[in-house]
Amino acid sequence: MVSSNNTLRSLRLISCALALVSMVACSSDDSSEPAADAGGEGGASGESGEGGTSGTGTDGGSGEGGTSGEGGDGGAVDPNAIVAEDMTWTWVDFDDSFCRDGSTAGISVSLNSASDKVMIFMQGGGACFDAFTCGTNPANADAQKGEITTGVFNRANEANPVADWNFVVIPYCTGDVHLGTNEEGMVDDVAGVQKFVGRKNIEAYLKRIVPTFRDASQVLLTGVSAGGFGAAANMEVVQEAFGDIPVTAIDDSGPPMSSEFLATCLQEKWRTTWGFDGSILKDCGEDCPDPNDYSIPYSIHVANKFPDHMGGLIETTSDAIISGFYGFGTNDCMGSFFTPIPPATFEMGLLDYRERIVELDANLGTYYIAGSGHTQLSMNTFFGIEVGGVLLVDWFRDIVEGTAAAHVGP
C-alpha cells in the first residue's frame, strides 16, 4: 500500500484540510528557491540543432520574445518561442494573463534542449466560490515562482519516467480550477472583482508554449487537485493547439463524478461563478445537454473525441480534501467543507467513473489508493506508492510510454 511516510503525510493532510489549500500545492515539498527571472527585453538566442527551443539570454514577456537565430533544420525560430537556459528554472511573465486579484501571471519553465518531450504541469491550491474558499485560495502567483525538484520534477531519480523532459509549470491563482472565462467575477462577502480567467490564461500561454516545442514528439498534460481538474478539462484545447503532436493527460486528485455524487447545484454554482459556458461547456457542445451536469458527460465527450489517446486518473478512495470540496453540494448546496461526502459514497463515485470508462475507452486507466490522502505526483513518495503489487510510478510510466492503461486498486 502507501509507503511508510503515511504518518507524516496524514499530519500534513490535516494541516491542509484546516487551511483548505484544498486543491493541493500544500502537499508538495516544492523548494522555495526563486526561479531566474525571465522578464524584460528578450536576448538573442544562439544556434539550435532542433529548430531552437534552447539558447542563452533572457526571455521577454508575452508581448515580445527574444530575437531568434536560425534553427538546425534551416528554418527561423518563431519569435514567440521561449528562450531560457537549460536545466534552470526560469519565470516567464505574460502581460496578457491574470490572477484573480488582477495582477499579471506567467509560467515557470525548466528546459532541456536534448529532449523533444514536454510536460505541462498545472498547480493546485484551492478554489474560490464563497468567502471561506476564497480566503484559502491564492489570489496571485507571487509564491509560485520557485523551482520544483520533487516527485515528477526530480531529475536525479532514475525511476522518474520524465526526468529528462522539458518542464512547463502553470501556476494557479485564478480560483477556478484553470477553467474560468469570467473577467468580472463577483463572490458574496468577498471584496472586489475576481478575475476568474484560468482558461483564458491557458490560451495565452499556449501561444508561446506551442512555438517553443514545435518539434516535440509528445506532450504530457498533468496536474494535481485543482490542476488535476484543469489537466483533464483542458486536454481538448491543448491537443488542438499542438495539432498532430499527441497529448497524454493524467489527472491527479481531480476526479470526475456523476451528479449522483457531485450535486448539480454545486456544478451550477461553479459554472455561473467561473464562466464555464465559455470553456468546458463550449468544448463539450451537444455532448453536455444539461449545463449543470457536465462532469461525467465532458469526460465521455473527450474519450469519444480522442479514443487513441492515453490517459489516467490517480485518486485515493476517500480523499479528505476533495470529499470536503464536493461536500459544499450536500443538503441542496447548504453544506460546506465540513459536511464532506462520506468515504463510502466517495469511493462509489470513483468506481462509477471507472465502470463508465472501462466500457468506453481502453486507453484510460485508473489508480486508486485506499485512504484519505491527497495528491501524489509532486511528492517524492510518488516513487514508493504501491497498490496490488503495482508501483504508481510504473503505472504512470506505462501510460506515458503508451504501453498500457491499467485499472489498479479497489
Say which amino acid occupies 277: D
Residues 128, 330: Cα–Cα separation, whole Å: 18
Range of the domain at 110: 6-35+89-408
Q: How many structural domains compose the chain? A: 2
pLDDT tens digits for range 296-327: 999 999 999 999 999 999 999 999 999 999 99
pLDDT at 181 over 60: yes
Helix axes 320-327, 343-360, angle to 10 degrees: 100
Q: What stretch of H or E contains 121? A: strand 117-122
| Cα gap 236→304, rounded to integer Å | 11
Band of pLDDT at residue 29, cut at 50, 70 and 90: very low
- Asked if 50 and 178 sit in the same domain, the reply is no
Q: State the Cα–Cα distance between residues 232 and 230, nearest whole angstrom.
A: 6
Q: Output the pLDDT for position 338.
A: 96
Statement to judge: residues 56 and 174 lie in one domain: no
Q: Which residues contact 107 (CB under 8 A, 6 or more apart)?
A: 91, 92, 94, 168, 169, 170, 171, 205, 209
Which of these ranges, 16-30, 118-132, 213-227, 294-308, has the smallest mean pLDDT? 16-30
In 111-237 the beta strands, taken as DSSP E runs, fall at: 117-122, 166-170, 182-185, 194-196, 218-224
Statement to judge: residues 284 and 323 lie in one domain: yes
User: At which of 83, 117, 150 does a domain end?
Assistant: 83
Higher pLDDT, 35 or 215: 215
Q: Cα(135)–Cα(384) distance, rounded to whole angstroms?
A: 34
Given a cut of 80, whether residue 156 has pLDDT beyond it is: yes
Q: Point out the domain boundary residue: 19, 49, 83.
A: 83
Taking 50 as the threshold, does the pLDDT of residue 143 lie above it?
A: yes
Residue 261 within any structural domain of the chain: yes
Sort strands 390-391 and 311-316 into parallel, antiparallel or unpaired.
unpaired
As a whole-number percent, the residues of the chain with pLDDT over 90 amount to: 79
306 plus 401 within the same structural domain: yes
Strand partners, 105: 94
Coil, strand or helix: which one is 383?
A: helix
pLDDT tens across 230-279, in order? 999 999 999 999 999 999 999 999 999 999 999 999 999 999 999 999 99
> Any bridge partners for residue 182, and if so which?
196
User: Is the same domain home to 31 and 50?
Assistant: no
- Whether residue 232 is found in the same domain as residue 267: yes
Q: What mean pLDDT value characterizes the chain?
A: 86
160 and 51 inside one domain: no
User: Can you tell me the distance from the alpha carbon of 214 to that of 78, in angstroms, rounded to the nearest whole number?
Assistant: 9
Contact by Cβ (8 Å): 234, 140: no
Residue 118 has pLDDT above 80, yes or no: yes
Shared domain check, 103 and 79: no
The answer as to whether 371 is a domain residue is yes
Check pLDDT > 60 for residue 213: yes
Tens of pLDDT, residues 88-108: 999 999 999 999 999 999 999
Confidence label for 41 from pLDDT (cuts 50, 70 and 90): very low
CATH label of the domain that carries residue 285: 3.40.50.1820
The grid coordinates listed for 9 are 503525510
Predicted pLDDT of residue 367: 98
Q: What is the pLDDT of residue 77?
A: 72
Query: Are residues 126 and 21 in contact, defined by beta-carbon separation less than 8 angstroms?
Result: yes
Q: Rounded to an integer, what distance in angstroms lies between the CA atom of residue 195 and that of residue 174?
A: 7
pLDDT band at 360; cut points 50, 70, 90: confident
Instruction: List the single range of 22-26, 173-177, 252-256 with lowest mean pLDDT.
Output: 22-26
pLDDT band at 378 (very low <50, low <70, confident <90, very high): very high
Grid cell digits, residue 170: 502553470
218 has pLDDT over 60: yes
Q: How confident is the model at residue 75 (pLDDT cuts 50, 70, 90)?
A: low
Across the range 377-402, mean pLDDT stands at: 97
The band of 55, judged by pLDDT with boundaries at 50, 70 and 90, is very low
Q: Give the position of cell 466517495.
A: 346
Q: Is the pLDDT of residue 78 over 90?
A: no
Return the DSSP state at 252: E
pLDDT above 70 as % of the chain: 81
Q: Are 357 and 251 in contact (CB under 8 A)?
A: no
Question: Is residue 1 a part of any domain in this protein?
Answer: no
In a shared domain, residues 388 and 309:
yes
Q: Is the pLDDT at 386 greater than 50, yes or no?
A: yes
- pLDDT at residue 6, rounded to an integer: 41
Span 112-122, average pLDDT: 98
User: Could you give the CA distance from residue 141 to residue 164 in angstroms, rounded to a whole number?
Assistant: 26
Q: Is the pLDDT of residue 22 over 60?
A: no
Question: Distance between CA 228 and CA 196 in Å, rounded?
Answer: 17
Same-domain pairing of 56 and 192: no
Contacts of 25 (CB under 8 A, 6+ apart): 123, 124, 125, 144, 172, 224, 378
Residues 203 and 151 in one domain: yes
If asked whether residues 227 and 352 sit together in one domain, one would say yes
Q: Quick one: 355 exposed, middle or buried, by C-beta within 10 A (0-12, 13-18, 19+)?
A: exposed
Please say whether the dihedral angle defined by the alpha carbons of residues 135, 167, 150 and 122, taken in this order, is positive or negative. positive
